[in-house]
Structures are given as C-alpha cells and as structure tokens.
Structure 1
Amino acid sequence: MPLDPTKHADWEIAQDAEKSMSTIYEIGERLGLSKEELLPQGHYIGKIDYRAVLERLKDKPNGKYIDVTAITPTPLGEGKSTSSMGLVQGLGKLGKKVSAAVRQPSGGPTMNIKGSAAGGGLAQCIPLTPFSLGFTGDINAIMNAHNLAMVALTSRMQHERNYNDEQLERLSKMKRLDIDPTKVEMGWVIDY
C-alpha cells in the first residue's frame, strides 16, 4: 500500500516506492523493447535506442502521443512533470503500453523550493536521488563540451595576447585570428 501523499513528504513516498521498483530491463520488457534497444544507465534508469526501435517498427502503424509542453503549476507545484507522470500512471492503469520521455532536472530548482521536476506525491519519477542529481549525465556532457570550446577559445586568445606573430608561427605554427573579446557572446556554463 503506497504512503498517503497528504501525510508524507515526496521523498518519503519515493523512498518507499524505490523498495519495489522494476529494473530498466523489466520495464523494457513490459514495453516490448529488446535488450539491444535499451541503453541502461545503471539498474533503474536508461535510454532507448530510438533508431533501433524505429527500424524494427518501420512497417508498423505509428503510435499515439500526448505532448505536455507548458502548464501553469498549481499553488502546490503540480506542473508538467507531475501531470506527465500522472498521465503515464493513468494510461498504464487502463492497460495501455505507455512511457514518458523526461528531461534531466536542472540543478537549481532541485535545491530550491521549486523542486526537482520529478513529479510529486504518487506521481513521481524514481529513483528520486539519481533522477534529480544527474539522471543520465546528458546535461553534464553538454556543459563539458561547451566549456571545452571556451577553454580552446580563451587559450587561443591568451596565446595571441602573449606572443607576436613570429613567435606564434615558430612555437606552434599558429596564424593570428585576432578574436575580439568584446564580440565573444559565448560564455562559461553551469546548470544552476
């Protein structure tokens, strides 16, 4: 019996639900996915190799989808994630094969009163902590790629500032790019 959301905090409900959650392979099997179509990110979180699924289903009719794109949250904070999880649960209860594609929560709201975009009450994503703090790591990979580009750019600008054209050519075969730092619109990023 799930905990009562009117008497228990979201984290307590999630912690209780995590005791009996299915592995990503069990979920994939219920959705009709092969192990090769799953990209596990640990035991309970994963991605779907959509190209493999599309290839397998290319001769089948398209499925249906519901797009939850924008909503004004209630005063208690039920918004897109809670609505999405509630829809998945409700359609699942009706016997439909259903899943949700959710994004990695942003770090700032997770540590703030707004919450982690993990849903709430009995309609939330579990395992709660891995979901809220990193999920599949996609946002971190994007941040690292972006910041790596910034390292290359600022390093180049520093070399051009420190060396004249002859030294640049002799030391590294570089040609001066003369990047104007006041025109660089790209900045360092962190997801908070």
Structure 2
Amino acid sequence: MANLDPTKMKDWEIAEAAEAHMKTVYQLSEEMGLEKMELFPYGHYVGKVDYMSVLDRLKDRPNGKYIEVTAITPTPLGEGKTTTSMGLVEGLGKIGKNVMGAIRQPSGGPTFNIKGSAAGGGLAQCIPLTDFSLGLTGDIDAITNAHNLAMVAVTSRMQHEFNYSDAFLQKKNLKRLNIDPRNPAMLWAVDFCAQALREIIIGIGGKMDGFMMK
C-alpha cells in the first residue's frame, strides 16, 4: 500500500490497488466489537449494522467524542467534505484512536459527471469504490421505487376519475378524490441529475395511457 502515489495515480487506480487488500466485513465487525447478530452482510465486503441493538447494548458506556465535518467547497484537486472526513478517520486511526466515520451514500447522478463519485479521493477514499458509488445495499433504489409506486397509484387514480363517471366509480367502491393535477404534492423520483426531466408533460398518449399533467 505504501507505493500508492496520488500524485501519479488516478483515484480509481488507487481504489483498485487498495481493494486487493480489503478486509472483509466480518474482520471489520470483529475489530469494531460488534456481536454476530448486529451485522447484516451484503456479500463479503459490504454490510449494514443494527445500530439500535448496538446503542442498547452500550447504553451504560460513556459517550465518545463526535466530530462533524460541515460544508466545504472542494479545492481544484477535489479535497472536500468526504476527502476531509476519510483522511481524518485514517489519521486518528494511525495514532491509535478507536475511530469510525459516517458519510452519506453518493447519488448516482454526480458519479458520472464532472463532480465525481463523492467517495473521497487519493489515499482518502471509500472502497469498494464501484459498489459504494453504484447502489451499495440498494437503499436508494428501494426509496426511489417506493416513491414512484406511490406516484403510479396517484396518477392511476386521476386517470380513472377522468375517464369514468361517479356512478361507475361508486360501483367499484371508489370515492372521487378530485386531485388537482396543477398542484401535485409529490413528484416522480429519479436518482440522477437529469435536467431534461425537471419540466415535463406526461400522459399524452390518450385516455388509456395515464393522465396528462405537467
């Protein structure tokens, strides 16, 4: 690991080399002092922690120190919040402190544009880089699907109310909700910086293809 030179290597090259020596989640779990049932593994190198169980088990222990890294405008070399946080964790660990870091999962959009993957950089980045940047444990995808499922239900209801009479709806045991398409309380969700989708019109295929709304 000592031969990884961030002045000569790209971030992905450093990540690829570092991933060859990664510890498994089981090794990390043991080092962190977690009990077996407090770890939910997603493969060998990614996992979730049942933090509520951990907090309950350690409730009688004194609290540790907490450092918050707030908004930082990145330098031209990409040194921002994540890089600072990762470097701080590594530095404290290097001097023998029992330390852990928490960073938010990157959005899929910036991963593929000029902003980068939000995984840190150089020798202060999160690995496995690809897994971290593209879905990780699938939570963002689950939230997106749940959100859009609700939108499907709302727009479907609007379509039915537009196409059918009160008498027909009553036969189906449906009460007219009269949702205002001009003032939607929620919108469709997509985890990408898709500017072209910010202002769109949907449902223009006909009365059986959804409800037209902006």
Pairing 1:150–2:122 present: no
Which has a greater percent of helix?
1
Q: Which structure carries more relative contact order (alpha carbon 8 Å, separation 6+)?
A: 1
Distance in 2, Cα, partners of 1:169 & 1:74: 62
Task: Please give the root-mean-square deviation of Cα atoms over the aligned residues, in Å.
Answer: 1.0
Distance in 2, Cα, partners of 1:137 & 1:2: 34
Q: Residue 17 of structure 1: CA displacement? A: 0.3
Equivalent residues in 2 for 1:1-192, closer than 5 Å: 1-170=2-171, 172-192=172-192
Distance in 2, Cα, partners of 1:6 & 1:94: 24
Over residues 104-148 of structure 1, what are the superposed CA-to-partner deviations in whole Å (9 max), with x where a residue is unaligned?
111111101211011100110000100111112111111111111
Structure 2 counterpart of 1:131, one-letter code: F
TM-score w.r.t. the length of structure 2 is: 0.86
Over residues 75-126 of structure 1, what are the superposed CA-to-partner deviations in whole Å (9 max), with x where a residue is unaligned?
1111111111101100110111211122211111110121101110011000
Distance in 1, Cα, partners of 2:3 & 2:30: 24
Distance in 2, Cα, partners of 1:135 & 1:155: 32
TM-score w.r.t. the length of structure 1 is: 0.96
- 3-state SS of the aligned residue for 2:182? helix
**% of aligned pairs identical?**
70
Q: Residue 30 of structure 1: CA displacement? A: 0.8
Q: How many residues align?
A: 191
Structure 1 counterpart of 2:136, one-letter code: F
Distance in 2, Cα, partners of 1:138 & 1:10: 25
Distance in 2, Cα, partners of 1:33 & 1:90: 23
Instruction: List gaps (5 residues or longer) in structure 2.
Output: 193-214
Aligned residues of 1:116 and 1:132 also touching (Cα < 8 A): yes
Distance in 2, Cα, partners of 1:168 & 1:122: 62
Aligned residues of 1:37 and 1:53 also touching (Cα < 8 A): yes
Distance in 1, Cα, partners of 2:183 & 2:23: 51
- 3-state SS of the aligned residue for 1:47? strand
- 3-state SS of the aligned residue for 2:30? helix
Structure 1 counterpart of 2:11, one-letter code: D
Q: Residue 2 of structure 1: CA displacement? A: 3.8
